[in-house]
C-alpha cells in the first residue's frame, strides 16, 4: 500500500475589525482576489486567493491584540508575521508611499544571501506583514 501524499498548504485565518477594509488591503497591495464568501446569517467568512495561497477573513468584535513591534510578536504559539516576496522592494515601498505603516526596515541581509532585503509593515488589524526581495533557498 502506497504512503498517502502529505497534506498541502491551505490558508491562514485572520480575525478582522472590518472585513471590507482588510480585504481591500490584501487585494490592493498583495494581489489577492475574492475566491468565496460564506454567509453565516448576519456574518460572513471571506476567502481571498493569490495563486495557491489563501487568506480566510473573519469579522471580530474582540479587543485587538497588543500592538506588535519590529518583525512581529515574540511569544511561542503566536504567528510572528505573514511574508510576501517582490522583485523590487524599493518600488513596492515607493508605491505604498506611506499608505501602510512600516514597522521595521528595510533591512539588508546581504551577509546571508546576496540581494536579500526585507521590510515589515502592518495590516489594518495590526498583523505584521513582511515584504522582501532576493530570498533564495540554500543550494
Pair 49, 37: CB distance under 8 Å:
no
Q: Which CATH number covers residue 35?
A: 3.10.180.10
Q: Are residues 31 and 87 in the same domain?
A: no
Number of domains in the chain: 2
Question: Residue 29 belongs to what domain range?
Answer: 9-61
Both 42 and 79 in one domain: the answer is no
Any domain includes 2: no
Q: Are 121 and 131 in contact (CB under 8 A)?
A: yes
Q: Give the model confidence (pLDDT) of 76-88 as tens digits.
A: 777 889 999 999 9
Question: What does each of the 139 residues of the chain score in pLDDT, given as a tens digit?
Answer: 788 988 888 899 999 999 999 999 999 999 999 999 999 888 899 999 999 999 999 998 887 776 677 887 777 777 889 999 999 999 999 999 889 988 899 999 999 999 999 999 999 998 999 999 999 988 8
- Counted residue by residue, the chain has a size of 139
Q: Same structural domain for residues 36 and 85? A: no
Amino acid at each position: 500500500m502506497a504512503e498517502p501524499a502529505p497534506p498541502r498548504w491551505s490558508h491562514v485565518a485572520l480575525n478582522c475589525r472590518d472585513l471590507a477594509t482588510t480585504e481591500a488591503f490584501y487585494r490592493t497591495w498583495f494581489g489577492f482576489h475574492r475566491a468565496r464568501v460564506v454567509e453565516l446569517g448576519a456574518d460572513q467568512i471571506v476567502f481571498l486567493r493569490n495563486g495557491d495561497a489563501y487568506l480566510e477573513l473573519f469579522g471580530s468584535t474582540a479587543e485587538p491584540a497588543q500592538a506588535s513591534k519590529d518583525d512581529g510578536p515574540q511569544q511561542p504559539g503566536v504567528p510572528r508575521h505573514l511574508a510576501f516576496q517582490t522583485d523590487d522592494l524599493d518600488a513596492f515601498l515607493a508605491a505604498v508611499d506611506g499608505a501602510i505603516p512600516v514597522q521595521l526596515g528595510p533591512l539588508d541581509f546581504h551577509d546571508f544571501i546576496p540581494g536579500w532585503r526585507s521590510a515589515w509593515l502592518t495590516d489594518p488589524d495590526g498583523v505584521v506583514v513582511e515584504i522582501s526581495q532576493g530570498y533564495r533557498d540554500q543550494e
